[in-house]
């Protein structure tokens, strides 16, 4: 065979060890068989030595994925840690960069694995289809397109597509694995609130015209009027006009379970128009239990008086301001709405049962003074039901309260009026209070969320603050006068509130009112008015937030309770699902890097796949030196970069059939020129 027909090789050269015997048929087909190497002959192919470039690539494909795995676990450790804005921004920036680099890194490492796998399988021997599948799947798009082009639907095709799907999954999981959330963090604290079992401060007054006594009544009347005149939004709010927590009426006393409390538009929802002062509330959300009590009236025989000239009012009076008793049970005692005490009132209340004078015995009181936290033994007896909390065998019968009012401003005895009888009881409740405070300078926002009957031991419900003569005398005398014009007899704010709590139409004459009010509603409103005045008498200036110590504000009535304050803190939030995908993707990338190193060093021959120089190496139309058979594709390209080649017509056989292939540019005819000749 001539040199031209053998692409520039002589017959002897083609038969050298390490080359192939090439036999060309007349049709241009080629038969080849490897020539066995004789014993003692050197191998034509020597395994390539390790070089710095290869070692650097091996190091990179192992270390970089491993670094991503470490980064993922560092992010995982952030879960639940408080967020520092500046540091969080740095983490977010690092995540964004890595999410951008991940597809690039994955393409480089997994593409290298596919190439080295194809190279190794080629040396072992493989099918052309499998080899083409591998070489065509070195990118995401190529992995999809190659399977369609080759019409290949086999386990290898599915595996390649699934592995390439890890690339976008890994990038998205890195982006989404770290965020932030608001988490509740609690710490122990204390809250101080006013004890409604406190003594009634005005009960110590002697009733004389002293300056301090008149000042107290003036301030108390002003606060009482402010509570009655507060806007409807304040009356229905969970806090009063001074920021104290209002206690609602308990819905049911039949069981000891917690009963939820929700906001109500009804003005009769709360037991008083003023609340219990709560101080020392920390920033955050605080929930605690608050013990309190209030008077609960059940009124009946609500009767309107419209008969002119007929005396319908009860005639009752208070015997003597300083009188300790005894007060005869069943007899009505109180300050009437007449001029008997030189004061004319538009309404009046009386009570028919009081605590016996026995409980005012000084020897008995000395034994209880310390337990009652009273300033003197007499104080403990005169003002607080709590002295009966631990008593047994005490005969207690419920008292009744009598109410009567004049509904006109006419100064006549036979003016239209209203009367009612009420059973009176002291109710003890435990309220679950939730307070929220956003900063140390902001006002706290507290509300009662649940209630139940108090679980503590208390005095019998039939004993109320009104059961003590020293308390009832000043309430009966001064509460109807607190918001009234002196000696005018006109309807004061309290009576108008009992008729219409919103006070939309204030009128000194309510003779046409109290028509549509039933006994239940009247009971609630009268209870509110009584509880408001009694509670203000206990708190006095503390109700308006005063912290000054005086005779009327006694810190011994504070109740301190331990609470857990919960703050909403921004913390790192690691999404478990996305973190799982991220770690899986990084491990898959790391495994690809390790396997690529393994297959790189497992293969013995040079890198010949995927290089353009392979066209020259394998072309039978270009004469190549024997040593090119063991050169890698990149090395061969470097050595022969200036060689010009062309794909075209290289010649024809004896039958005139054209040979098409890759040859030197000057020896190969362009296909376009050949077609033009036709």
Contact 448, 370 (CB under 8 A): no
- Each residue's pLDDT tens digit, 151-210: 778 888 888 888 888 999 999 999 999 999 988 888 888 898 999 988 888 876 665 555
End-to-end CA distance of the chain: 30
* C-alpha distances in Å from residue 38, one per residue of 43, 48, 179, 465: 10, 22, 69, 123
In which band, very low, low, confident or very high, does the pLDDT at 149 lie, cut at 50, 70 and 90?
confident
Scanning the structure block, which residue is given the tokens 């050595």?
Answer: 639
Q: Residue 583 above 60 pLDDT?
A: yes
Ramachandran class of 537: left when φ > 0, alpha when ψ lies in -120 to 50, beta otherwise: alpha
DSSP string, 248-280: BPPS--S--S-EE----S-TTSBS-SS-B-EE-
Scanning the structure block, which residue is given the tokens 């009570």?
Answer: 351
In which band, very low, low, confident or very high, does the pLDDT at 93 lie, cut at 50, 70 and 90?
very high
Nearest CA to 51 out of 673, 632, 561, 655 is that of: 632
pLDDT of res. 288 = 92
Q: Residue 383 above 80 pLDDT?
A: no
Distance CA 566, CA 564 (A): 6
Distance CA 99, CA 229 (A): 64
The arithmetic mean of pLDDT across residues 227-256, rounded, is: 93
Cis? peptide before 275, omega within 30° of 0: no
Distance CA 83, CA 568 (A): 12
Helices (runs of H) and strands (runs of E) counted in the chain: 18, 13
Burial of 144 (0-12, 13-18, 19+ CB in 10 A): middle
pLDDT of res. 153 = 82
Distance CA 178, CA 174 (A): 8
pLDDT of res. 670 = 79
Residue with the larger pLDDT of the pair 229 and 607: 229
Of 85-99, 114-128, 487-501, 648-662, which one has max mean pLDDT? 85-99
The arithmetic mean of pLDDT across residues 606-624, rounded, is: 72
pLDDT of res. 209 = 56
Q: What are phi and psi of 143, to 5 degrees?
A: -60, -40
Number of Cβ within a 10 Å radius of residue 286: 25
Q: Residue 16 above 80 pLDDT?
A: no
Identify the weakest region by mean pLDDT among 6-15, 83-92, 609-618. 6-15
Q: Residue 238 above 90 pLDDT?
A: yes
- What the block records as the tokens of 404 is 């009567």
Identify the weakest region by mean pLDDT among 372-376, 431-435, 670-674. 372-376
pLDDT of res. 272 = 96
DSSP string, 2-23: -TTTTTT--HHHHTSTTSEEEE
Distance CA 138, CA 167 (A): 12
> Is the overall model pTM greater than 0.85, yes or no?
no
pLDDT of res. 55 = 87
Helical packing angle, 166-176 and 155-164, nearest 10°: 20
In which band, very low, low, confident or very high, does the pLDDT at 550 lie, cut at 50, 70 and 90?
very low
Contact 557, 194 (CB under 8 A): yes
Contact 162, 144 (CB under 8 A): no
Residues in the chain: 678
Scanning the structure block, which residue is given the tokens 């000194």?
Answer: 508
The arithmetic mean of pLDDT across residues 594-617, rounded, is: 76
Helical packing angle, 155-164 and 140-150, nearest 10°: 160
Give the angle subtended at the CA of 635 by the CAs of 634 and 641, to the nearest 5°.
80
SS3 290: strand
pLDDT of res. 205 = 67
Q: What are phi and psi of 651, to 5 degrees?
A: 160, -165
pLDDT of res. 577 = 93
pLDDT of res. 424 = 96
Number of Cβ within a 10 Å radius of residue 125: 6
| Average predicted confidence (pLDDT) for the chain | 80
SS3 566: strand
Number of Cβ within a 10 Å radius of residue 235: 24
What percent of the chain is modeled with pLDDT above 90? 34
Nearest CA to 626 out of 1, 17, 49 is that of: 17
Nearest CA to 341 out of 361, 320, 322, 324 is that of: 320
Ramachandran class of 293: left when φ > 0, alpha when ψ lies in -120 to 50, beta otherwise: beta
> CB-based contacts of 532: which residues, under 8 Å, 6+ apart?
224, 227, 228, 272, 273, 274
Contact 246, 238 (CB under 8 A): yes
Contact 247, 271 (CB under 8 A): yes
Contact 404, 304 (CB under 8 A): no
DSSP string, 344-413: --SEEEEES----GGGG-HHHHHHHHHHHT-SSHHHHHHH-GGGGTT--S------EEEEEEE-S--S-T
* C-alpha distances in Å from residue 88, one per residue of 75, 309, 472: 11, 85, 64
Distance CA 616, CA 581 (A): 45
Residue with the larger pLDDT of the pair 135 and 399: 399
């Amino acid at each position: 065979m001539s040199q031209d027909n053998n692409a520039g090789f002589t017959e002897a050269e083609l038969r050298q060890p390490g080359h192939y015997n090439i036999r060309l048929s007349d049709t241009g087909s080629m038969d080849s068989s490897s020539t066995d190497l004789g014993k003692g002959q050197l191998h034509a192919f020597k395994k390539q030595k390790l070089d710095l470039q290869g070692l650097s690539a091996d190091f990179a494909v192992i270390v970089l994925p491993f670094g991503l795995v470490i980064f993922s676990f560092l992010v995982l450790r952030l879960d639940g840690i408080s967020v520092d804005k500046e540091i969080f921004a740095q983490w977010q920036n690092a995540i964004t960069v890595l999410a951008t680099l991940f597809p690039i890194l994955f393409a480089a490492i997994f593409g290298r694995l596919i190439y080295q796998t194809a190279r190794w399988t080629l040396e072992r021997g493989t099918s052309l289809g499998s080899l083409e599948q591998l070489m065509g799947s070195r990118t995401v798009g190529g992995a999809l397109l190659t399977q369609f082009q080759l019409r290949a639907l086999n386990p290898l095709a599915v595996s390649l597509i699934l592995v390439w799907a890890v690339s976008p999954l890994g990038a998205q999981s890195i982006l989404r694995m770290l965020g932030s959330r608001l988490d509740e963090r609690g710490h122990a604290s204390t809250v101080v609130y006013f004890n409604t079992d406190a003594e009634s401060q005005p009960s110590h007054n002697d009733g004389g015209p002293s300056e301090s006594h008149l000042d107290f009544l003036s301030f108390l009347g002003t606060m009482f009027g402010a509570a009655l005149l507060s806007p409807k939004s304040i009356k229905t709010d969970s806090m009063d006009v001074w920021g104290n927590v209002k206690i609602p009426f308990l819905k049911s006393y039949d069981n000891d379970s917690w009963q939820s409390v929700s906001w109500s538009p009804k003005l009769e929802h709360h037991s008083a128009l003023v609340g219990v002062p709560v101080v020392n509330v920390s920033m955050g959300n605080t929930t605690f239990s608050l013990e309190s009590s209030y008077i609960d009236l059940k009124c009946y025989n609500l009767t309107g008086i419209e008969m002119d000239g007929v005396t319908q009012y009860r005639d009752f009076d208070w015997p003597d301001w300083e009188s300790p008793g005894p007060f005869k049970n069943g007899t009505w005692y109180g300050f009437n709405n007449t001029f008997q005490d030189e004061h004319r009132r538009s309404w009046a209340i009386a009570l028919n049962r009081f605590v016996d004078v026995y409980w005012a015995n000084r020897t008995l009181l000395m034994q209880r003074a310390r337990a009652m936290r009273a300033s003197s033994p007499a104080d403990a007896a005169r003002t607080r039901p709590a002295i009966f909390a631990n008593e047994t065998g005490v005969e207690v019968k419920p008292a009744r309260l009598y109410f009567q009012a004049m509904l006109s401003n006419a100064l006549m005895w036979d003016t239209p009026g209203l009367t009612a009888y009420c059973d009176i009881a002291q109710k003890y409740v435990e309220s679950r209070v939730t307070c929220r405070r956003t900063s140390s300078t902001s006002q706290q926002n507290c509300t009662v969320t649940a209630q139940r009957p108090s679980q503590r031991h208390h005095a019998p419900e039939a004993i109320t603050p009104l059961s003590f003569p020293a308390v009832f005398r000043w309430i009966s005398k001064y509460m109807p006068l607190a918001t009234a014009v002196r000696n005018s007899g006109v309807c004061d704010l309290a009576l108008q509130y009992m008729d219409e709590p919103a006070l939309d139409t204030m009128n000194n004459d309510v003779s046409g009112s109290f028509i549509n009010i039933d006994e239940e509603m009247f009971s609630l409103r009268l209870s509110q008015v009584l509880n408001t005045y009694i509670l203000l008498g206990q708190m006095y200036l503390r109700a308006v937030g005063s912290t000054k110590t005086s005779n009327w504000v006694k810190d011994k009535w504070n109740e301190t309770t331990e609470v857990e304050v919960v703050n909403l803190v921004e913390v790192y939030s690691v999404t478990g699902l996305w973190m799982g995908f991220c770690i899986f993707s990084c491990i898959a990338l790391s495994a690809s890097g390790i396997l690529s190193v393994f297959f790189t060093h497992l293969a013995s021959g040079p890198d010949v796949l995927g290089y353009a120089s392979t066209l020259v190496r394998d072309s039978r139309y270009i004469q190549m030196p024997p040593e090119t058979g063991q050169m890698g594709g990149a090395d061969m390209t470097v050595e022969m970069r200036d060689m010009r080649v062309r794909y075209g017509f290289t010649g024809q056989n004896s039958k005139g059939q054209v040979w098409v292939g890759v040859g030197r540019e000057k020896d190969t005819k362009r296909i376009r020129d050949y077609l033009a000749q036709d």
